[in-house]
Amino acid sequence: MHPTNDPSLRSFLEISSNSDFPIQNLPFGVFSKTAEDLHRIGVRIGDYVLDLHALSGEGWLSGEHIGNGDVFRRPVLNDFMALGKQAWEEARTIISELLREDNAKLRDDKAMREEVLLPIADVQMHLPASIGDYTDFYASKYHATNVGTMFRGPDNALQPNYLHLPVGYHGRASSVVVSGTDLHRPMGQTIAPDADSPAFGPCKLLDYELEVGVFVGTGNELGSPMTISRARDSIFGLVLMNDWSARDIQKWEYVPLGPFLSKNFGTSISPWIVSMTALEPFLVDGEAQDPEPLPYLKDNQPGGFNLHLEALVQTERMASPYRITQTNMKYLYWTIYQQLTHHAVTGCNLRPGDLFGTGTVSGPSKESRACLLELTWRGQEPLDLPSGESRKFLLDGDRLIIKGWGQANGYNIGFGEVIGTILPAVESQAKAFQHP
């Protein structure tokens, strides 16, 4: 166990016992103060943000691997990510020590505390990194089987390659947005079941996909594949992800090259990147893999994570969100380390700040289906809500919330939330259209 995961550690700050952000978490993010536009790197602790930009400016963050801490005076985390695992853990150790209840340095310096500890309610969160590339995988066998069954029948649910490699596609990094960013319903081509040609208009089958996002740290050089063991040291941390999906646009466009416009209009992520060190207590064996993967994908160490994930919806008529999905990251068939290794096996260069998604994290039960396509079985089984409404897919004004956390050793390690509301399609608001 890393010393910063010691369950006996306590902060001098008052932190609720059920907080997502105890001293054992310390996730990294980027924020700005209400009164300024400067983007600053910070760490979440309880209901506060620790301003690393200010701390480094005062010389409080320095070490063998992080140098004088100048990487914390950048507007994004990419330069810090590029330093590698030793630097990440060194910074985590220094920050943990500063926040401990038995360390007087920050605890007893009232002026410094007021400068560097900011209430979370007083800051604006931003994307934590400059995301150069974004790749989305399809790593849940349960999700792939359900979707395949809907479209090809149970006997042909999985494509022949699925049990041999992590299937993925390259997404659009420019439309990755931070939690709290609302998205317009996308426009595109769709085709009615009885039509001979497509029509253009707003998506009618808009969906969420509950995923986990993975930030690359050190990456690899062009032409240099990555081993499983190297992949373990190259991942900076995890976020929650909602990879919004336009199902009717996707159905028409995806043959033969896969998703395009149905996915590129928006991907939402939570603002705090939880480090792999903080997540060590939740490592578990992944799903059994049969047949055995090829040697470059074989991993003898635990690669799953026992992290509870849930999705909630709140319509305009509902006073509070209603949970519609309960699942767990441990249900992924292909681990994040296998995904990263496969991505780089050709020599494709992954860079600090690159992002990839696990794909929809569905599990074996109906309640663990992690998108409406599965929950309503392609719209044939509408979802009943406590407001008396029902949903096949998302309507304008619907708000979708994703939460996630692990619980071990008497504390929670959480991600907070990723939230987004669906706004009407941008067609000058002139043409109304009929929802399903």
Active-site positions read: 143
**Angle, CA of 86, 87 and 88, to the nearest 5°:** 95
Cα of first residue to Cα of last residue in the chain, in angstroms, is 51
Cα–Cα distances (Å) from 355 to 170, 207, 288, 339, in that order, read 10, 21, 26, 12
- List, in order, residues 6 or more apart from 341 with CB less than 8 Å away: 225, 226, 227, 228, 231, 296, 297
Instruction: Locate 38 and state its tokens.
Output: 């400067």
- Contact criterion met (CB below 8 Å) for 354 and 216: yes
DSSP codes, 137-204: E---HHHHHHHHHHHH-GGG-S-TTTTTS--EEE--GGGEEETT--EEPPEEEE--TT-SS-EEEE-S
- DSSP summary character for residue 428: T
Nearest-CA neighbor of 358 among 286, 251, 285, 281?
A: 286
Strand partners, 149: none
- List, in order, residues 6 or more apart from 125 with CB less than 8 Å away: 29, 30, 31, 178, 179, 180, 271
Please report, as a single letter, which amino acid is at residue 5.
N
- Contact criterion met (CB below 8 Å) for 280 and 304: no
**Angle, CA of 375, 381 and 386, to the nearest 5°:** 75
Distance separating alpha carbons of residues 400 and 383, to the nearest angstrom: 14
The alpha carbon torsion through 7, 13, 17, 18 (nearest 10 deg) reads -110
Estimate to the nearest angstrom the gap between the alpha carbon of 212 and the chain centroid. Answer: 4
- DSSP summary character for residue 293: P
